[in-house]
Amino acid sequence: MCRTNLDHLQEGDNSPPKSPVEFNKQVGGHSKFLWIGEGMIGKPKDTREAEFYKRRPSLLKKYLPRCYGIIEGRQLFQQTFLRDAENAMLHQEYMIMENLTSQFENPCVLDLKMGTRMHGDSATSAKIKSQTKKCLNSTSASLGVRCCGSLWFDPQSGKYERQDKYKGRKYNAQDFEDALCRFVSDGVTLRADVVLLLISQLRGLQKAISSLDSHRFYGSSLLIVYEGSNFESDFHGNTHSQERLSEGDNDEEVDNLLAQGGGGDPQPPQTNNVIIKMIDFAHSTFKGFMDDPIVHSGPDKGYLRGLETLISVLENGLKSGPKLKST
């Protein structure tokens, strides 16, 4: 992973901060991200994760955020702000990452912890015990996925709702289904435009993961981002998606929609309305990666289990009708 200079990075946000500030759209993770501006954030460097971005499989290229390089904290802060920055931040190395929310006016963000196992191969016995307990006491073990935090824009009120990882750990299977459907809704009905694009991309990721032998993504997350303020157009760019699903569509009609826009050919046009990205690779591994002594065989079945759950919940949500269940 090369060192980098901010002067050579692409422009993005219109109003970058004068000095890095805490990223207020972060919904998961242990370490705090810094908002740099210009379409970028700074994430504290993890050696394994930085190496993973450098050697990431070509099949996953479009499913990972861009990593522009590594920079020391002192280079992020302008001279006049150095005295205000914590000493640890100045000596911390940061991975300069693509800010996936920068292109959205009112982004909805969901962090999903993927897989049935969270600990890496080199974890201590205490870590294995604690992470296994979290999986067994949440939807991770049964569904292969759990909510790890969300930021949802309610177009009805114009306000944001935030949920943390602790609430997601308490969800049972039905709670998870309800939370996911609410996330891809306008607060009243499912957004078919978002759901169809999301299913299409999830199926693409499912195909890619299925093709990767020996890869394991323990403790990684899947980040979903979409525009919360625009809920009237479907994946064809029309404005009747919600109407079509509110007139009592039967399963056959919904299946036709899914076949057209939820996976397989033809797929809906590629847009930036919905983004899915794999993140957090500190415990990921594959054959030949950093001389890891343990080599796994076949695709990551735990991760695939989580993708199957997501696709199933979203498809069933469309088939059961557009209106959300009352809570």
How is the chain split into domains, by residue range?
A: 6-98, 107-319
- At 316 the pLDDT is 95
List Cα–Cα distances, 175 to 155, 162, 196, 318, in angstroms: 22, 16, 22, 17
Q: Which residue has the tokens 């940061």?
A: 94
Report the C-alpha gap between 156 and 188 in whole angstroms: 9
Report the pLDDT value the prediction gives residue 299, as an integer from 0 to 100: 98
**Tokens 């974890």 -> residue:** 123
Residue ranges in the chain assigned as alpha helix (H): 47-54, 73-76, 87-91, 125-136, 140-143, 165-169, 173-183, 192-210, 241-244, 251-261, 301-319
- Which residue ranges of the chain lie beneath pLDDT 70? 1-31, 77-90, 230-272, 322, 326-327
As a whole number of angstroms, the distance between CA 118 and CA 129 comes to 11
- CB contact set of 135 (below 8 Å; sequence gap of 6+): 116, 117, 118, 141
Per-residue pLDDT, 255 = 63
Q: Residue 253: is it exposed, middle or buried by C-beta count within 10 angstroms (0-12/13-18/19+)? A: middle
What integer pLDDT is reported at residue 172 of this predicted model?
98
* pLDDT at residue 16 in the model: 45
CA distance 212 to 229: 36
Tell whether domain 107-319 is in CATH 3.30.470.160.
Answer: yes
